[in-house]
Amino acid sequence: MRLVAYDSCDDLLGGLRRAAADQVGPYGLGGPVPLAGLPEGDTALNKGAVPAPAPADGGGKAPQHSTTNSHEPGADEPDLVKTDGRRIVTLARGRLQVIDPATRKVAHTLSLAERDGYPGGSFNSQLLLSGERVLILTPQAPMLGRDLPADPRRPGPARPQTRLTLVDLAGAPKVVGTMTSDSMYLDARQSGSVVRVVVRSTPKIDFPPPGRDPEKAVERNRLEVRKAPLDAWLPTFTVGEGKAAKNYRAPCDQVSRPAAYTGAGMVSVLTFDLARGLADPSPVAVATDGATVYGNGSSLYIAGNPPVPARPVKGPAPVEQRTDVHRFDVRNGGRPQYAASGSVPGTLLSQYSLSELQGNLRVVTTTDPGQGTGRPSGSTSQSSMYVLAQNGSRLDQIGRADGLGKGERVYAVRFLGTLAYVVTFKQVDPLYVLDLKDPRRPRVTGELKITGYSAYLHPMADGRLLGIGQDADASGRTKGLQASLFDVSGTPRRVASYKLPGASSQTEFDPHAFLYWPGTGLAVVPVSRPERGASEALALKVTGTGLREAGSVKHPGTDYGNSIRRSVVIGDTLWTFSEDGARATDVATLADRGWLPFTAG
């Protein structure tokens, strides 16, 4: 497994046409366009907020503050709320809301609804903050009942788009740059002021209706593929607006493919330095499908499953249980440099299934040989740990541990240095501990079985883990929210737990929503209880071997707009955020310090 370049643009077009012709079906390429919402791929299982000093602001340093729950400290991730301690920026009610935490007031707002293409467009958007600049990343996908307008130059249905908006926060917020693309936003990572944005695109080919004969429809679609121009595959990145707009595409010599195959679509990596504004994104493209992005500041990995032939007109669909991983070197601020590729059996849970340490990539996957055979789903599944080392342009397997969670699937993974923790679940929750000190001989050193499962694992001091997930009975039926405190300094054991029947937390599938403030031992998670309507922020007090409820924070009203989604700490104040406003509370006592309603865009 390695990437290879194309000899020429004609070679690139021929390879793309052949790959698409092999993969096209009666209805065209790929599946249905996803509804507008959070970007696909993985933004879950993040490391958790830790105190961070803010930059100096004339009169001195800002107070300590929490940071976004990012997987790796060297690669910040987009989220709904960002702070540098001097200001808080968030997206709500179609506006960028800028809060002054010192005065506890909304200092500025900037309407985004018109720019995002439809009212309330900020619902999909996420933020990255660098100095006086904030980058708004907006995936624009067709929604039921109100599709985005199709390209007037090309008939056919509306297509997913990505919009980036750069805002200067020095004074009243103002837009200083934009980029739009006919591709789907996948994920992004930020190191310093440099941002890498990963997008995915499919060929812009308008296939005719399938008609009554699927086999004839496939042949018609293959004809459409064979006459499609190169521009149908290369996504366009338009920087600026109006007469000042400039279009960019990946040059043919910056497009590569896996040596063993060519994908019908593309994954592109864009590079921007926010300090310099939005300019040429220097796109680098790979003719493959990517679903998971993992970065640590020096490496950017893109992982996905290889393409399979089109679904046959009759018979079961082919199943490919393999994950291909491509590494790019991003240590400089310019265009990413391709480094190496590898492949492992099975599929990933999330970006937290990947971790790089001392040049080795550790990967956790699940395989199910019975998938597609008619046997019960998961009945033959098991998970494995692989260690890959770079050897020239290859990521070669040098170590492996099998047999994790037989008949189950992975619910959480956490790498901490040379240790790894894997949670699998079907009826009970085995928490596996793996020793990776010798990367060539990873081994399971501990296993703990309890009812329920953890979907997010957060590292604590003194060899402890805090798990957030669901309680369950002996048959595997979930019963409600469960927080578990594990001691993993030796033989793993659960030393404390907290249960909230009937409840669930956004942290279970998006731990950007998780906050831990070490100074007070406070963990904060949004919690939804059906009988209470809007979600609230549950505060848990974590001690050496104890876990108890410290209280909760609610926003006015009971509708969705007042459901708490995020929380941050600045100094001695806990801030919680919903679509309708922000609330300030005392981080030690949870006493109310003020409610800030947001204005609509």
Per residue in 190-239, pLDDT (tens digit) is: 999 999 999 999 888 888 888 788 888 889 889 988 999 999 999 999 99
Q: Can you give the pLDDT at residue 194?
A: 96
Residue 515 pLDDT greater than 60, yes or no: yes
Q: Any idea what DSSP says for residue 77? A: -
Query: Higher-confidence residue: 556 or 47?
Result: 556
Cβ density class 439-464: b for 16+ within 10 Å, e for less: beebebebebebbbbbbbbbbbeeeb
Cα dist. 202→20, 25, 28, 94, 315 in Å? Answer: 10, 14, 11, 29, 26
Per residue in 471-485, pLDDT (tens digit) is: 998 888 999 999 999
Which of 39-43, 442-446, 575-579 is predicted least confidently? 39-43
From the list 78, 76, 113, the residue with the least C-alpha distance to 96 is 113
Cα dist. 129→49, 194, 275, 301, 436 in Å? Answer: 16, 11, 11, 22, 35
From the list 107, 133, 113, the residue with the least C-alpha distance to 125 is 113
Residue 31 pLDDT greater than 70, yes or no: no
What does pLDDT average to over the chain? 86
Tokens at 71, concatenated: 């997987």
Q: What are residue 274's DSSP bridge partners?
A: none
How large is the average pLDDT for residues 26-36?
Answer: 56
Instruction: For residues 495 and 483, give the distance between their C-alpha atoms in angstroms, rounded to a whole number.
Output: 11
Q: Can you give the pLDDT at residue 581?
A: 95
How large is the average pLDDT for residues 363-375?
Answer: 77
Residue 10: partners with Cβ closer than 8 Å, 6 or more residues away? none
Query: How many other C-beta atoms lie within 10 A of the C-beta of residue 54?
Result: 16
Helix/strand/coil percentages in the chain, nearest 5: 10, 45, 45
In Å, how far from its chain's centre is CA 426? 25
Query: Higher-confidence residue: 548 or 212?
Result: 548
pLDDT band at 592 (very low <50, low <70, confident <90, very high): very high
Q: Can you give the pLDDT at residue 51?
A: 47
Q: Can you give the pLDDT at residue 320?
A: 63
Which of 309-313, 394-398, 508-512 is predicted least confidently? 309-313
How large is the average pLDDT for residues 66-92?
Answer: 95
Residue 32 pLDDT greater than 70, yes or no: no
Residue 180 pLDDT greater than 90, yes or no: yes
Q: Using alpha carbons only, give the angle 194, 200, 203 rounded to the nearest 5 degrees.
A: 140
